[in-house]
A = this chain, B = another copy of it.
Amino acid sequence: MSFNTSGHLFRFTTWGESHGPALGVVVDGCPPGISLTPEMIQRDLDRRKPGQSKYTTQRREADEVKILSGVFEDERTDGPRTTGTPISLVIENTDQRSKDYADIRDKYRPGHADYTYDQKYGIRDYRGGGRTSARETAARVAAGAVARQVLSGISIRASLVQVGPHKIDYDNFDWDQVGENPFFCADAKAAALWADYLDGIRKAGNSVGAVIEVVAEHVPAGWGAPIYGKLSADLASAMMSINAVKGVEIGAGFEAASLTGVENADQMRAGPERPYFLNNHAGGILGGISNGDPVVCRFAVKPTSSILTPRQTVTTANQDTDIITKGRHDPCVGIRAVPVGEAMMALVLADHALRHRGQTGREGAVGFERN
């Protein structure tokens, strides 16, 4: 990953600012012959779309994707198919409130990248945070939808597992619940509690952090490229690149530090066709390579930095001042990070699927669509 491009064989490059005319992504290196329609992409975009509940920003964006290149259809292709050339996806920005930006133009918002962008570039598009806005994640989700098509047979799902100090009870974990509440939460009881909790946070002009868990099932053993392209390292980079993320863990993660070798070892038993593991502390990755078990990744999102409570800050002229970040902000940005986490998992896996096939000539991926 470097600059605004990520991936080695299956690559994507995102562009666009919060208040520019549009944002988008170019997906390059996609296998040819994959079925791809705007609907397949829109499905995921709609899950990330703002304004779907009182727990997310009230900004109204259709987030309608257009496919400008890389797919082709004629009477013989049975619907639009990727051609192996770059897939350009564009999403127009439609709800850019015209407003006075003087406040964020002249003041640095604590927790935001205003100060660091000025330090790095000496110039900053401050309208809605410009390039640093979480709107950039729409482009990731669009690219991720393409990756999902490449990874047919592999299931990638995510759930919010913690909001503020409140964690879910894994005994209640049910993937079917994720679509039933505004938090993408697999624990219905936790979701109910979070509703009240977040109401309070929101009314107090405050915000909270969260933890998201992403799980990829049916990933074949053998994906990953040691030493510096480990599947775990690429997932860490991918998740940490999401706005506001401050931590990433695989499998047992930080909990592994407290375990003994006897406890942590995922013992193996002979299966009918191949061995299986008695536990998955490894999170499906050993030595940076997938072991056939579900790939389990969690990441922590800090609380929304834009809050209605006044905070101390400085002006761009290095003068003390205060700031209240008005606007339409998520009380918990972690909620909308759920589909983004799924997208990043899909993008990393698609890249490793192709890299593995390239180096070794092995498919690995059971369900991975042949071209």
Closest-CB distance, A165 to chain B (whole angstroms):
5
Determine whether the beta carbon of B131 is less than 8 Å from that of A291: no
Determine whether the beta carbon of B230 is less than 8 Å from that of A241: yes
Determine whether the beta carbon of A15 is less than 8 Å from that of B88: yes
- Does chain B have a CB within 8 A of A108? yes
Which segment, of A38-46, A47-55, A188-196, A250-258, faces chain B? Answer: A250-258
**Residues of A226-276 whose CB lies within 8 A of B:** 226-230, 232-241, 243, 245-254, 256-271, 273-275
A243 to B319, alpha carbons, bound, how many Å?
46
**Residues of A1-40 whose CB lies within 8 A of B:** 1-6, 8-9, 11, 13-17, 20-24, 26, 28-33
State the number of copies, please. 4
Determine whether the beta carbon of B302 is less than 8 Å from that of A281: yes
Q: Residue A113 contacts which of B286, B302, B361 (CB distance < 8 angstroms)?
A: B286
Determine whether the beta carbon of A248 is less than 8 Å from that of B240: yes
- Does chain B have a CB within 8 A of A69? yes
> Using Cβ atoms and an 8 Å threshold, which residues of chain B touch A221?
115-116, 119-120
- Does chain B have a CB within 8 A of A225? yes
Determine whether the beta carbon of B240 is less than 8 Å from that of A209: no
> Using Cβ atoms and an 8 Å threshold, which residues of chain B touch A112?
286-287
- Does chain B have a CB within 8 A of A130? yes
- Does chain B have a CB within 8 A of A170? no
Across the two chains, which residue of chain B brings its CB closest to A81? B123
- Top 3 nearest A-B pairs (CB, nearest first) are A113-B287, A358-B358, A247-B249
Q: A261-B111, A261-B208, A361-B371 are in contact. Are A268 and B312 (CB under 8 A)?
A: yes
A262 to B324, alpha carbons, bound, how many Å?
11
Please give 7 more A-B residue pairs, beta carbons under 8 A apart, in addition to A208-B258, A209-B259.
Answer: A16-B88, A31-B359, A120-B289, A208-B259, A208-B261, A236-B240, A274-B318
Determine whether the beta carbon of A29 is less than 8 Å from that of B9: no
- Does chain B have a CB within 8 A of A177? no
- Does chain B have a CB within 8 A of A301? yes
A15 to B77, alpha carbons, bound, how many Å?
21
Which segment, of A57-65, A151-159, A178-186, A303-311, faces chain B? Answer: A303-311
Determine whether the beta carbon of A164 is less than 8 Å from that of B269: no
Determine whether the beta carbon of A312 is less than 8 Å from that of B253: no
Determine whether the beta carbon of B259 is less than 8 Å from that of A15: no
A230 to B23, alpha carbons, bound, how many Å?
19
Determine whether the beta carbon of A264 is less than 8 Å from that of B22: no
- Does chain B have a CB within 8 A of A288? yes
> Using Cβ atoms and an 8 Å threshold, which residues of chain B touch A264?
111, 209, 302-303, 305
Determine whether the beta carbon of B260 is less than 8 Å from that of A164: yes
* Chain A 288-325 near chain B by CB (<8 Å), digits 1 or 0: 11111000000011111111010111100011100000
Determine whether the beta carbon of B21 is less than 8 Å from that of A3: no
6 cross-chain CB contacts under 8 A: A15-B70, A115-B291, A257-B302, A267-B313, A275-B314, A281-B302
A297 to B174, alpha carbons, bound, how many Å?
34
Determine whether the beta carbon of A26 is less than 8 Å from that of B9: no
Across the two chains, which residue of chain B brings its CB closest to A87? B15
- Residue from A1, A236, A241, A266 whose CB has the most chain B CB atoms within 10 Å: A236
Determine whether the beta carbon of B227 is less than 8 Å from that of A14: yes
Q: Residue A4 contacts which of B86, B113, B252, B313 (CB distance < 8 angstroms)?
A: B86
